Structure 1
Amino acid sequence: MNQKQLVEAFQAVRQHSEAICQHLEIEDYVVQPVADVSPPKWHLAHTSWFFETFLLEPYLRGYRHFHPQYSFLFNSYYEAVGQRTVRSDRGNLSRPGVTDIYRYRAHVDDAMTRLLADETLSDEQLSLVELGLNHEQQHQELLITDIKYILGHNPLFPEIDIPLPEERSGSPGWLTVPSGRYEKGADGRSFCFDNERSRHPVLLGEYEIARSLVSNEEYLAFVRDGGYQRTGLWHSDGWDWVKKTSARAPLYWHEQNGQWFEYTFAGLKPLNMSAPVCHVNFYEASAFAAWAGARLPTEAEWEVAAPQLDWGQRWEWTNSAYLAYPGYEKAEGAVGEYNGKFMVNQMVLRGGSVATPPGHSRITYRNFFQPWLQWQFMGIRLARGMM
């Protein structure tokens, strides 16, 4: 991406974050029901802090901070940058107010416009801008999922205008992938995160992978067949999670008088049987796969098959732990904390979802979360055969 394209992309990305929030009530901006869900105003401020910290402070001569304590408030997990607010306390920040957060964004946008007008910016600096844009796009998806969690745990089940792409049913049947030597990972010729590199060979036995995602109707059959009561279907940690949470269905599912409903941005609606199941964690995905006589694909199997699949409706759980690829190199300094420090106790998801910003997905993209988390737009694609 050249400098002119970066300027246009910067404006579009920054505007899109604010567009996601345009129908929120002021009170919605501050709520934090659980530690994993950040208040919308925090996302808007943190993405501005990223540009301020990694680009404006070191590279824009004479840059003046909007507020001297915002770095403490809106740093997320970058230890090298300094102290920060505890993640679970983000919802306790009644101040700064929403108006000040938008002023902060405007301050950063104005300064970034001046920085991007500098035709002497190095390739390294331009790469940081591109990283910042992709970072903000990640937070745009988090904005959508966090807003859904906030409103989905409000007993009024409020509606909000956050348009998402229309969900589609996949093709039936299975795709057979022959055994062989394949390539996996990004080649680095276009933007990718460091955890997608480097491209390397993998050996796969013949396997089959479902052409479509598991639907709500299919998952409901699992629920009605006592899937959440059958110990033998679950990992040990998964069964502990079931007992601890008393789970009996995916997040946002509600049974009323024998009928199942689901919270959506249009409010509480009857369960759409043809839509891909959503908001299931790794434990649930694995238990369903066992119940169905199948398994989850590895991330290598997913990536090899992806060009022949319809993907992008849900982040798809894989049976692969989040680990470094051969040849992985972590960047020096705070930027190096972006991905590498999380390569433990997390599972990989592939694809993208209806909440993923347009143009942000790619086949090599590696998302990752702890196996008990549900609040992202997570779904299930089955595989079977040699692993």
Structure 2
Amino acid sequence: MTTEENVTTDPETLRRRAVEALETARRRTTLLTSCVDEAELTAQHSPLMSPLVWDLAHIGNQEEQWLLRAVAGREAMRPEIDPLYDAFEHPRAERPRLPLLAPAEARGYAAEVRGRALDVLEKTPFEADGAALLTRSGFAFGMIAQHEQQHDETMLITHQLRKGAAALTAPDPEPLDEPFRGPADVLVPGGPFTMGTTAEPWALDNERPAHARLVPPFRIDTTPVTNAAYLEFIADGGYRQQRWWAPEGWAMVRDHDLAAPLFWRREAGQWLRRRFGVTEPVPPDEPVLHVSWYEADAYARWAGRRLPTEAEWEKAARFDPASGRTMRFPWGDADPTPSRANLGQRHLRPAPAGSYPMGESPLGVRQLIGDVWEWTASDFLPYPGFVAYPYREYSEVFFGSDHKVLRGGSFAVDEVACRGTFRNWDYPIRRQIFAGFRTACDAAPQEGS
């Protein structure tokens, strides 16, 4: 069994990638915080989310702490603001009451930090075997680019939650020339594969280390579950029948009178949804979006199937049965491109189910990367040999049964923060995130390993 690990470790290539990743993230941050006025930046649009201006200054503060202080050993620029932008010290609901930097000051602070950080980047060795783990292959710079893009995704969620007219626009994904006519699901053969990574230079701690995982044969959907399919669940009384729901999920349905995904409503006999300030008919061929883990699990039960485990999802996304290789992405080891996956906020919606044939796996599974985060059946737990790095609060404090794993990224995720090994996690009640799912089932007895 061979592994993917066909990754770039050339120092100058990684240095160029780090500059590009940081600049790409900052352009997106600027877009997300310049398309609304100061009142919108400082308002809290949902108790689940921070004011946009908090995210902006937090991005700068994290960059200062890790690139200027930890890497370059420089004195703190604004030590008095560190507690204000500590995500663990102040829950999101409390952040509007903090003495936050005003929008202009937050922009200036983030810009000054970035200028100094690029100077540090230019002078820092990027050796793949460097003694300093924080700078080995430019890890700290890749980590900060991923951090900013993760907050950009969070800010995009805030834009979806905010009321009022649309502030963001983007072209729609290309429509399919004809409906996807592939099989509904495919068999993934049983046997071992390499899960996680050791050599991916900017992989975060919870993706490490690479390890052998034995997965029995199973079947998995070739595309994410669509709105049309989910509407069948609704029409069949899915939200009114307790038998499909986990006890906590059924309590959520009853307590909040749920009847459809978040942002949907029924009007004049038609299902509509609100998407970034625009109300539109629910498109039947798109992957369903804004469903909680409990809703995904209930649908799967109703359909006579289940959610894939995290290991099953990763095997479907990375394993090539013909060669026995575990690849970086479903299509191979090459980085994502617009022809392979819907990433980077190029669009403000998922592409139709069955899109991106150039991004499909060797078994013919599509859209495993991009479009919608996909809930899995698994709790968020460490891999064997896990070591928290560079701080416990990124992953370790979240391990346990409270959080479920999501995989694959969404249209709101940048490629720097999306790999075949990348792990996301959230509470199973979360609906505001850009999450959908696909289903799986055990292979029939006659379907061999």
TM, length-normalised to structure 2? 0.78
How many angstroms apart in 2 are the aligned matches of 1:350 and 1:164?
25
Q: Do structure 1's residue 144 and structure 2's residue 128 form an aligned pair?
A: no
Q: Which residue of 1 aligns with 2:374?
A: 316
* Aligned ranges 1:60-99 → 2 under 5 Å: 60=72, 63=75, 65=77, 67-77=78-88, 84-93=89-98, 95-99=100-104
Q: After superposition, what is the alpha-carbon deviation per residue over 1:313-335, rounded to whole angstroms, capped at 9, x for unaligned?
A: 11001001110111111136xx2
Moved more, 122-131 or 316-325: 122-131
User: 1:17 and 1:377, CA in 2 relative to 1: closer, same or farther beyond 3 A?
Assistant: same
Cα distance, 1:251 vs. partner?
0.5
Q: Which residue of 2 aligns with 1:81?
A: none
Secondary structure in 2 aligned to 1:69?
Answer: helix
Cα distance, 1:168 vs. partner?
6.3
Q: Do structure 1's residue 276 and structure 2's residue 297 form an aligned pair?
A: no
Contact 1:186-1:192 at 8 Å conserved across structures: yes
Structure 1: runs of 5+ lacking an equivalent: 78-83
Q: Which residue of 2 aligns with 1:351?
A: 408
Contact 1:228-1:242 at 8 Å conserved across structures: yes
Moved more, 19-28 or 300-309: 19-28
Cα distance, 1:58 vs. partner?
4.0
How many angstroms apart in 2 are the aligned matches of 1:285 and 1:279?
10
Q: Which residue of 2 aligns with 1:236?
A: 247
Q: Do structure 1's residue 286 and structure 2's residue 343 form an aligned pair?
A: no
Moved more, 204-213 or 8-17: 8-17
Cα distance, 1:378 vs. partner?
0.4
Q: Do structure 1's residue 166 and structure 2's residue 173 form an aligned pair?
A: yes
* Identical counterparts, % of pairs: 31
How many angstroms apart in 2 are the aligned matches of 1:167 and 1:99?
38
Q: Which residue of 2 aligns with 1:110?
A: 115
How many angstroms apart in 2 are the aligned matches of 1:56 and 1:85?
24
Contact 1:20-1:162 at 8 Å conserved across structures: no
Q: Do structure 1's residue 370 and structure 2's residue 427 form an aligned pair?
A: yes
How many angstroms apart in 2 are the aligned matches of 1:364 and 1:61?
31
* Aligned ranges 1:1-387 → 2 under 5 Å: 2-60=14-72, 63=75, 65=77, 67-77=78-88, 84-93=89-98, 95-119=100-124, 124-125=134-135, 126-149=138-161, 151=162, 154=163, 156=164, 158-163=165-170, 166=173, 171-265=182-276, 267-306=278-317, 307=330, 308=361, 309-311=365-367, 312-331=370-389, 335-344=391-400, 345-385=402-442
Secondary structure in 2 aligned to 1:21?
Answer: helix
Secondary structure in 2 aligned to 1:347?
Answer: strand
Contact 1:216-1:277 at 8 Å conserved across structures: yes
How many angstroms apart in 2 are the aligned matches of 1:221 and 1:253?
15
Q: After superposition, what is the alpha-carbon deviation per residue over 1:164-216, rounded to whole angstroms, capped at 9, x for unaligned?
A: 76276764421111222222111323321110111122222221101011111
Moved more, 50-59 or 285-294: 50-59
How many angstroms apart in 2 are the aligned matches of 1:271 and 1:384?
28
Moved more, 29-38 or 208-217: 29-38
Q: Which residue of 1 aligns with 2:355?
A: none
Task: Name the structure where helix makes up a greater proportion of residues.
Answer: 1
Cα distance, 1:64 vs. partner?
5.2
Q: After superposition, what is the alpha-carbon deviation per residue over 1:45-86, rounded to whole angstroms, capped at 9, x for unaligned?
A: 111111111222345466452x44321211112xxxxxx334
Total equivalences in the alignment: 373
How many angstroms apart in 2 are the aligned matches of 1:61 and 1:174?
53
Residue type of the alignment partner of 1:113? L
User: 1:110 and 1:374, CA in 2 relative to 1: closer, same or farther beyond 3 A?
Assistant: same
Contact 1:167-1:313 at 8 Å conserved across structures: no
Cα distance, 1:119 vs. partner?
4.4
User: 1:5 and 1:212, CA in 2 relative to 1: closer, same or farther beyond 3 A?
Assistant: closer
TM, length-normalised to structure 1? 0.90
Q: Which residue of 2 aligns with 1:80?
A: none
Structure 2: runs of 5+ lacking an equivalent: 1-12, 127-131, 318-329, 331-360, 445-449
Secondary structure in 1 aligned to 2:311?
Answer: helix
How many angstroms apart in 2 are the aligned matches of 1:168 and 1:208?
27
Cα distance, 1:91 vs. partner?
2.5
* RMSD after superposition: 2.2
User: 1:219 and 1:5, CA in 2 relative to 1: closer, same or farther beyond 3 A?
Assistant: closer
Contact 2:209-2:383 at 8 Å conserved across structures: yes
How many angstroms apart in 2 are the aligned matches of 1:34 and 1:54?
29
